[in-house]
Amino acid sequence: MATKLLNVLPILAAFTGIHSIITVNKVSVRAGGSISIPCFYDPRYKNHVKYLCKGAGWYGCTYEVKTNQPSTSGRFSISDDKKQRIFAVTINDLTAADTDYWCIVEINNGADDGQKFQLSVSTGLPSLYVDKQEVTGFKGGSVTVSCRSTFSGRMKWCRLGSICVTESGSIDRTAVTISASIGNVVNVTMSDLRFESSGWYWCAKGNLQMPVHITVYEQTTTTTTTTISPTTTNISPGTVEGQQSPSKYLKSFIISLSLLIFIVMVALFIWWMLKRRQQAEKIDSSPATVAEQEITYSDVKHIKKPSRQRSYAESNVDVLYSTVAPKQSSQRAAPKDQSIIYSNTAECQM
């Protein structure tokens, strides 16, 4: 009896138009990718356990992940936003077998409540898709979502648990503009964003929907004020007070080394100039000619020439010089008529 009741509940909800859980009908996805599906629930289910069930029929479907029990396979995850009353399930590594799923709320002492959605898995581009499912914006600003499709038709923009618009309008006091672009691309722009604009939306075309989650943040501006006083030193980021960064040490070392090299080069140049000047002065002060040197003769012998008549000794003597050695003097040589010193002189009479 309980099984029959579970099968009848979704049928009754469809006929009466009363849905305790609202979600997408059908989503086109790509094999190997991932998809997040939002499930909106009634306020009375706020503190209930929610879960994802896989199977064509409610009866006999397989539990994949619960809010009170994480998935062991890693392919499935679930989160519950109790403030907006939406729990979202994510399916990774999609395959052709991922077709029929259920968003279900666990009911204590009664039949669980749920809503079915289907996935259309293809190896090529999905029939309806967006660039990314997570979009962020700032309060007072705007966001644009490009809804892309492979077939023609009218596009709608809907908010989960609220209304849909097909042209310019508003959803929950947030302005919405829908404009066609190149090909089968429709741009949806939401402007004058409010914090209440955060939530799940979807592009709808034909029998397909593509969920998109929008998050609105507060626009913050950061002002940095720097105060400089004679007794304080600014510390750049990444340094500790009283210490210098490695780059500053390297810069100081390079500057010091360059200065030292320059000083050494200047000193070597001055030393070279002084040495060159001393050499020039030494060359200028050296004796220019041999005539200016003092000459000393040693070991001189006198030989008398053969002569029949005897005359003065001085006229009959030839002088031979040997071992002539010039003697350096620190002073200039004396005049040419300066006396000559002879040593070891011998006279030979014939």
SS (H, E, C) 276-318: HHHHHHHHHHCCCCHHHCEEEEEEEEEEECCCCCCCCHHHHEE
C-beta separation of 282 from 276 below 8 A: no
C-beta separation of 145 from 135 below 8 A: yes
Decide: residue 104, CB within 10 A, 0-12 exposed, 13-18 middle, 19+ buried: buried
Question: Which one, of 210, 220, 221, 208, lies nearest residue 188 by Cα?
Answer: 210
Identity at 32, one-letter amino acid code: G
Winning range, highest mean pLDDT, from 165-174, 294-303, 335-344: 165-174
Count CB neighbours of 19 within 10 A: 16
Identity at 146, one-letter amino acid code: S
C-beta separation of 162 from 173 below 8 A: no
CA–CA distance, 193 with 143 (Å, rounded to integer): 8
CA–CA distance, 150 with 184 (Å, rounded to integer): 7
What tens digit of pLDDT does each residue of 209-233 get?
999 999 999 988 655 544 444 443 3
| Average per-residue pLDDT for the chain | 77
Strand partners, 164: 158
C-beta separation of 160 from 204 below 8 A: no
Residue whose token pair is 């809503």: 115
pTM summary value = 0.59
Edge-to-edge order in the sheet of strand 35-41:
21-22, 35-41, 86-91, 76-81
**pLDDT given at position 187:** 95
What SS3 class is residue 95?
coil
Q: b/e for 285-314, b at 16 or more Cβ within 10 A?
A: eeeeeeeeeeeebeebebeeeeeeeeeeee
Domains, the chain, ordered by start: 2-122 (2.60.40.10), 128-217 (2.60.40.10), 294-307+315-328+341-350 (no CATH)
- The strand pair at 185-191 and 143-149 is best described as antiparallel
Residue whose token pair is 């809010």: 67
Residue whose token pair is 């289907």: 118
Strand partners, 122: 30
Confidence class for position 70, pLDDT limits 50, 70, 90: confident
CA–CA distance, 259 with 251 (Å, rounded to integer): 12
What tens digit of pLDDT does each residue of 171-184 get?
999 999 999 888 88
Which residues have CB under 8 Å from 350's CB, separation 6+? 304, 305, 306, 307
**pLDDT given at position 167:** 84
- More confident: 17 or 287: 287
- Which conformational region is residue 161 in: left (phi greater than 0), alpha (psi within -120 to 50 degrees), or beta? left
Averaged pLDDT, 98-114: 93
- More confident: 277 or 83: 83
Max CA-CA distance within the chain? 184
Question: Which one, of 280, 288, 298, 297, lies nearest residue 333 by Cα?
Answer: 288
Confidence class for position 28, pLDDT limits 50, 70, 90: very high
**pLDDT given at position 247:** 66
- More confident: 168 or 346: 168
Q: Tokens for 182?
A: 């190149």
Task: Work out the percent of the chain whose per-residue pLDDT is above 70.
Answer: 67
Task: Kindly tell me if the per-residue pLDDT of 87 is higher than 90.
Answer: yes
